[in-house]
Amino acid sequence: EPEVTQTPSHQVTQMGQEVILRCVPISNHLYFYWYRQILGQKVEFLVSFYNNEISEKSEIFDDQFSVERPDGSNFTLKIRSTKLEDSAMYFCASSAREYTGELFFGEGSRLTVL
Amino acid sequence: GESVGLHLPTLSVQEGDNSIINCAYSNSASDYFIWYKQESGKGPQFIIDIRSNMDKRQGQRVTVLLNKTVKHLSLQIAATQPGDSAVYFCAERRNNAGNMLTFGGGTRLMVKP
């Protein structure tokens, strides 16, 4: 069964460092997303992406965040200068359709900022 | 309401019984609702969705009920199995929010053999 894969599974970084989280969405999906979940809290929307452009972004997704589809398979989330409060599980998701809740999530990348 | 911190409401059921997981939403302009299941160490997994022009939708062993009058959503799982043990989240799309989903705080379902 096709699945969304994410790397790394866990990254530890120092405050102020840049981090890139990588995702390989399901191959025939066109819509891509990043969500995050701070430990013990709700899953929060960060950004949606389609046709090489950001479709929507939340207030969390400030200038420190960026997304990119550098090739035909990868979808990345970059945090330029990490803060302690960026520590969270970051989930990538993809969908075949727009405006759907049928998202396929990866297993997440846990980011720990020290 | 908001759910912050490590505490999750927990529902404990006997294997074979039916489970009902509830969710209250606050935005009357929400037009689309989804239930997700999250097993330990995994990402959320889509279970079932319902649009605001419906009040009930059935899937395989699951039923979602929507009561817009009281802004309440429920997920019913028939003949609960040990593999159903997970955290269950409801999510809503607030009107005109496009692809942005707002998740609720989650309920932990524990199935006793």
pLDDT tens-digit map of A7-37: 999 999 999 999 999 999 999 999 999 999 9
Whether the pLDDT of residue A81 is over 60: the answer is: yes
Whether the pLDDT of residue A2 is over 90: the answer is: no
- By Cβ distance, the residue of A31, A56, A105 closest to B44 is A105
Question: Residue A35 corresponds to which amino acid?
Answer: Y
Residue A41 three-state SS: coil
Q: Is B63 exposed, middle or buried (0-12, 13-18, 19+ CB in 10 A)?
A: middle
- By Cβ distance, the residue of A42, A91, A102 closest to B46 is A102
- By Cβ distance, the residue of B43, B99, B102 closest to A99 is B99
The pLDDT assigned to B65 comes to 97
> How many angstroms separate the CA of residue A93 from the nearest CA in chain B?
9
Query: For residue range B19-41, what is the model confidence (pLDDT) as tens digits?
Result: 999 999 988 889 999 999 999 98
Q: Do A101 and B89 touch (CB under 8 A)?
A: no
With contact defined as beta carbons under 8 Å apart, do B101 and B47 qualify?
no
Q: To the nearest whole number, what is the mean pLDDT of chain B?
A: 90
The pLDDT assigned to B2 comes to 36
Q: Do A58 and B100 touch (CB under 8 A)?
A: yes
Query: Per mean pLDDT, which range of A51-55, A58-62, A67-71, A97-101 is the poorest?
Result: A97-101
Could you tell me which of B111, B38, B37 has the C-alpha nearest to residue B81? Answer: B111
Could you tell me which of A31, A29, A40, A36 has the C-alpha nearest to residue A91? Answer: A36
Give whole-number Cα distances, B46 to A93, A95, A113, B5, in Å: 11, 11, 30, 24
With contact defined as beta carbons under 8 Å apart, do B41 and B63 qualify?
no
Across the A:B interface, residue pairs with CB atoms under 8 Å apart total: 70
Query: For residue range B42-84, what is the model confidence (pLDDT) as tens digits?
Result: 999 999 999 999 999 999 999 999 999 999 999 999 999 999 9
Q: Do B43 and A41 touch (CB under 8 A)?
A: no
Compute the distance between CA of residue A101 and CA of residue B47 in angstroms, rounded to an integer: 10
Q: Do B44 and A33 touch (CB under 8 A)?
A: no
